[in-house]
């Protein structure tokens, strides 16, 4: 879709023109479906994602700026929906192993093939590079499963300090995983 056509549809969308949402659906739904399907590997989930994306677009139409890049917006919402589905399914029996296999087998022209073991090792390397106090707090949270409050009590620090260290640790790890692509970030969000 040409940029000026997308802007025109966005203007119409903000004016409650339902034809605009139909035009956007026709222009983007197939690509969004293919994007979601490349990760989810099921038609049903991928169709649900596309439907949710356009429902979200309609609900948030007034919040969009005139200069919003609709394509980037739609693909970001799709990516977030895919991550939400992975999070929901993570609790289903056997899905964790399936997701690991998908992560290992997944291949995209823009990303290198992903390997569960190497990602796990990379994350451990990054955790080791954290400042000592931050590393300890991160490990207490992620490896021992302690709550922020329990960590704060054990270390005799405030909950806010624990939250600050966890935020900085997560940011550091995510920033250093970006070179491994979307799957690495997804892996981190789901398994760490």
How far apart are the C-alpha atoms of 97 and 83, rounded to whole Å? 16
CATH number (domain holding residue 145): 1.10.10.10
Distances 173 to 37, 118, 145 between C-alpha atoms, Å: 27, 14, 18
Confidence of residue 142 (pLDDT cuts 50, 70, 90): confident
| Same domain flag for 114 and 176 | yes
165 within a domain of the structure (yes/no):
yes
Q: Is residue 85 domain-resident? A: yes
Answering whether pTM is above 0.75, one says no
Share of the chain above pLDDT 90, in %: 30
- Residues 45 and 114 both lie in one domain: no
Indicate whether 140 belongs to any domain: yes
Would residue 135 count as lying in a domain?
Answer: yes
Tell whether 185 is covered by a domain. yes
Q: Is residue 22 part of a domain?
A: yes
Q: How far is CA 56 from each of CA 13, 43, 47, 88, 89, rounded to the nearest angstrom?
A: 12, 20, 14, 19, 21
pLDDT digits (tens, 9 = 90+) for 104-120: 555 443 344 445 567 77
Q: Are residues 74 and 129 in the same domain?
A: no
Does 75 lie in the same domain as 26? yes
Domain hosting 146: range is 107-191
Tens digit of each residue's pLDDT (9 = 90 or more) over 38-56: 888 889 889 999 999 999 9
pLDDT score recorded for residue 96: 57
Q: Is there a single domain that holds both residue 113 and residue 140?
A: yes
127 and 68 both lie in a single domain: no
The separation between the first and the last C-alpha atoms of the chain, rounded to the nearest angstrom, is 38
| Number of independent structural domains in the chain | 2
* Residue 82 and residue 122 share a domain: no
Indicate the burial class of 66 (C-beta count within 10 angstroms; 0-12, 13-18, 19 or more). exposed
Residues 7 and 73 in one domain: yes
Whether residues 127 and 75 share a domain: the answer is no
**Residue 102 domain flag:** no
28 part of a folded domain: yes
Do residues 115 and 73 both lie within one domain? no
CATH number at residue 74: 1.10.1740.10
């Amino acid at each position: 879709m040409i940029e000026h056509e997308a802007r025109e549809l966005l203007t119409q969308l903000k004016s409650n023109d339902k034809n605009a949402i139909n035009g956007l659906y026709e222009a983007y739904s197939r690509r969004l479906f293919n994007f979601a399907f490349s990760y989810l590997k099921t038609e049903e989930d991928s169709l649900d994602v596309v439907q949710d994306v356009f429902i979200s677009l309609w609900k948030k139409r007034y919040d969009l700026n005139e200069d919003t890049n609709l394509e980037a917006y739609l693909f970001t919402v799709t990516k977030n929906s895919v991550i939400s589905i992975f999070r929901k399914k993570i609790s289903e029996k056997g899905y964790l192993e399936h997701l690991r296999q998908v992560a290992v087998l997944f291949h995209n022209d823009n990303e290198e093939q992903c390997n569960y073991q190497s990602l796990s090792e990379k994350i451990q390397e990054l955790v080791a590079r954290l400042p000592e106090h931050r590393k300890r707090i991160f490990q207490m949270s992620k490896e021992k499963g302690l709550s922020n409050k329990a960590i704060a009590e054990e270390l005799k620090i405030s909950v806010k300090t624990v939250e600050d260290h966890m935020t900085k640790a997560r940011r550091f790890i995510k920033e250093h995983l970006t070179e491994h692509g979307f799957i690495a970030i997804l892996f981190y969000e789901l398994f760490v």
